[in-house]
Structure 1
Amino acid sequence: MPSTNNISKTGSHRRYFSYKYLFISLFLSVSSLALVLYLTYTPDGFQHLKPKRLPGLFIALFVAILKVWFTAAKIRFLADRQIGWWASVRVVLAWDFASAITPSTIGGAPLGTYVMTRENIPLGKSSAIVLYGLLLDQFFYMIAIPILLISAIYIDVVPENVGWLGEGVMLLIYALLMSYGFLLGYGLLKDPESLKKAVRYLFTLPLLKRMKSKVEPELDNLVSKSHELRKKPNSFIIKGFFLSTMVWLCKVWLPTIVVLSFLPADELLSVMRSLAMMLASLFMPTPGGSGGVEGLFAVFQGPLMERQVFLGIAIFMWRLITYYLSIPAGMFVMSWYVNKSVVDSYSILAAREKAEIGKLDEDELTGITD
């Protein structure tokens, strides 16, 4: 019989996420949600609920599914259609699961890279997909931020109740995203060697110096992927940008659709605030942004809701659709990958044992392991 010790090693996915972070993420999200519900609940508040608006929640669910589809289409496109639709959806669900339980500043890219290799995409190709996807996101930010700044001249994109400190923080976020997007775009599309030198210098600083040895191979990988990207036709960037933009628009529309499912509100202002809210959530240090994103929803969307009693339930429905459902879906997909790894490992080990006793020649063994 094949050794179960070898098979158990296939659970290497565990190094990409932590059950501790999953618990922390859920605890922070539920706690902040409970606090908002406690502060906004009134016994007679729900008598103002209009059932004719509630179907909007099904529209929100449809938009969330649409976001998964566009993300899968984006990954499949960047992978040059080397994987099928269901494989792309599995990658998206696993990626979203990792994003839900890791800090927003880290995201689900490490686990996303891992599961793409489980779908028979080479590691180098998987890394390139992540890098290209990151670049496309930066293009979206560089268009979205000027729109927000121009809109802020005419409407209160950043709510007045956050004061000058909140406005200053949002301006800092805009500046950081624009600077990062410009540097990444210039480095990847124009001068990767300069980008490599700049990052290498950055990791000579005292706080980052200990990670320099780990970063060095990734810098070489970045340069090689940059050369590959520059060989792509313009249509590749345009179509990839379209898919990436549709993913982001789905994210931006969801809070507004949920708000409108309970009460009428200023649609344009809600969408602009959703966009600002999404950009701010990128800097949340907690797993899945939990605790922070609920607060952002309350700050940005709360003033638009005439009856505050609906604020807590709106946050809950938004997080249910965009966050809570992603956890069981992601765990289901991860269990599928684990089972597949066990079966694959068992088949390889069994084939090797048969080869040792002469029941299988080496050519057949090579075919199985490949």
Structure 2
Amino acid sequence: MSSETKHIKQPQSLLSQKYLIISITLSLATMAGVIYWTYTPGVLEHLVPKRLPGLVIAVVVSLLRVWFSAAKIRFLSEKKLDWFASVRVVLAWDFTSAVTPSTIGGAPMATYAMTKEGLKLGDAGAIILYGVLLDQLWFAMAIPILLFAGIFYEVVPAEVGLVGDVSMGLLYVGLLSYAGVLAYGVLRNPAAIKKVVKVVFKLPVLRNLSDKIEVEAENLEQYAHQLRKKPFSFLMKAFFLSTMSWIMRIALPTIVVLSLLPAPEVLSVLRSLAMNLAFLVVPTPGGSGGVEGLFVLFQGPLIAREGFIGLALFLWRIISYYISVGLGIMATTWYVNQKVVEVIQED
């Protein structure tokens, strides 16, 4: 095993059975509550068979999201990762993100996975950093779209009230600020990233981690310098793949809703975009509980028959969450098995 890989947490330590149980329990409990409160006897009689193939389209769109994400990872690795490896990395990343709090996320598992696929730790770190930057650039593009669309559409439901409007406004400001700082640090002044990290970890509550973060801050600056050497066309191609992945994610709730009954398509897509941004700050493992609530809040008022709200929520979570968890478990198990083989070979 390389000296770099030794310093990466092993896959078992990156996951927590507690978080997995909490995530699934919160999701199931919230869905059960919504179905209980919205169910209307005989509602399934109103299903229109010709709309149901839309659920097949929803599954295809969900798989396309994985494909575009894998294509982005493969492109950023400059094709050092093959397609199977790229898909495994994305599935493991998605799974870890789905069962851990947003403050942890799937980046540590993705870094580990890429090193097990043969990349150096520095290359894996650069890909993660660039991937985060691309996501932030997408958010920075999405927010003006939502603000402009808000002139013509009720993007943020009236049900959220003043508190909801203020919260969404603060979220927009936070995402734009983070995107600006990250873009400046990565693309213009890598040394600034290191300085910001060091300042943050001088805070009293984080000071005990300052020694450990010193090395990571140096690595972060080195990764950023690697990214600055890439041509602008490289950024644009990667941004296109990242954008397509997000478009698939945004389209999914609307496709599920339209598979059940008519709804205002444009408004549904805009609200899907807004609620996906709101997902980013839900603190529970995988956002479970919170994302279901946001779906009901944003998409529920667009669903003409109240009895279909719980069904739409259930189908959306099956396709967007539970399938990802199942595939992610298989991918993560593959990496765990690879680790076991390494240990046996070393013995």
TM range (shorter): over 0.9
Number of the residue aligned with 2:282? 284
The two structures have a TM-score, normalised by structure 1, of: 0.90
Is the contact made by 1:97 and 1:331 (CA closer than 8 Å) also made in structure 2? Answer: yes
What CA deviation, in whole Å up to 9, does each residue of 1:315-360 have, x standing for no partner?
11111111111122111122222222323333344xxxxxxxxxxx
Q: Does 1:126 align with 2:124?
A: yes
Q: Does 1:89 align with 2:76?
A: no
Q: Distance in 2 between matches of 1:241 and 1:11?
A: 29
Q: Number of residue pairs matched? A: 340
Q: Distance in 2 between matches of 1:194 and 1:257?
A: 42
1:15-30 matches, within 5 Å, as: 15-30=13-28
1:325 counterpart SS class: helix
- Aligned partner of 2:102 among 104, 110, 119: 104
Is the contact made by 1:11 and 1:338 (CA closer than 8 Å) also made in structure 2? Answer: no
1:209-358 matches, within 5 Å, as: 209-349=207-347
- Aligned partner of 1:54 among 48, 52, 55: 52
Shift of 1:12: 2.6
Q: Distance in 2 between matches of 1:71 and 1:247?
A: 6
Q: Distance in 1 between matches of 2:322 and 2:233?
A: 36
Which ranges of 4 or more aligned residues in structure 1 deviate by more than 6 Å?
Answer: none
Q: Distance in 1 between matches of 2:160 and 2:22?
A: 27
Larger radius of gyration: 1
Equivalent AA in structure 1 for residue 246 of structure 2: W
- Aligned partner of 1:72 among 70, 73, 80: 70
Q: Distance in 1 between matches of 2:192 and 2:91?
A: 36
The two structures have a TM-score, normalised by structure 2, of: 0.95
Is the contact made by 1:94 and 1:334 (CA closer than 8 Å) also made in structure 2? Answer: yes
Runs of 5+ unmatched residues, structure 1:
1-9, 350-370
Is the contact made by 1:50 and 1:262 (CA closer than 8 Å) also made in structure 2? Answer: yes
1:154 counterpart SS class: coil
Number of the residue aligned with 1:177? 175
Is the contact made by 1:104 and 1:281 (CA closer than 8 Å) also made in structure 2? Answer: no
What CA deviation, in whole Å up to 9, does each residue of 1:133-152 have, x standing for no partner?
00011110111000001111
Shift of 1:194: 2.6
Q: Distance in 1 between matches of 2:128 and 2:193?
A: 18
What CA deviation, in whole Å up to 9, does each residue of 1:256-288 have, x standing for no partner?
000101111111100000000000001110001
Distance 1:217 1:11, change over 3 A: closer
Equivalent AA in structure 1 for residue 164 of structure 2: G
Shift of 1:11: 9.7
Number of the residue aligned with 1:165? 163
What CA deviation, in whole Å up to 9, does each residue of 1:45-78 have, x standing for no partner?
2221111111100000000000010011000011
Q: Distance in 2 between matches of 1:339 and 1:137?
A: 31
Equivalent AA in structure 2 for residue 14 of structure 1: Q
- Aligned partner of 1:194 among 192, 195, 199: 192
Equivalent AA in structure 1 for residue 132 of structure 2: L
Q: Distance in 2 between matches of 1:321 and 1:342?
A: 31
Is the contact made by 2:10 and 2:112 (CA closer than 8 Å) also made in structure 1? Answer: no
Q: Distance in 2 between matches of 1:106 and 1:250?
A: 24
What CA deviation, in whole Å up to 9, does each residue of 1:209-244 have, x standing for no partner?
122122211211121111111111111100000000
Number of the residue aligned with 2:4? none
Number of the residue aligned with 1:363? none
Equivalent AA in structure 2 for residue 204 of structure 1: K
Q: Distance in 2 between matches of 1:307 and 1:15?
A: 45
Number of the residue aligned with 2:38? 40
Is the contact made by 1:105 and 1:282 (CA closer than 8 Å) also made in structure 2? Answer: no
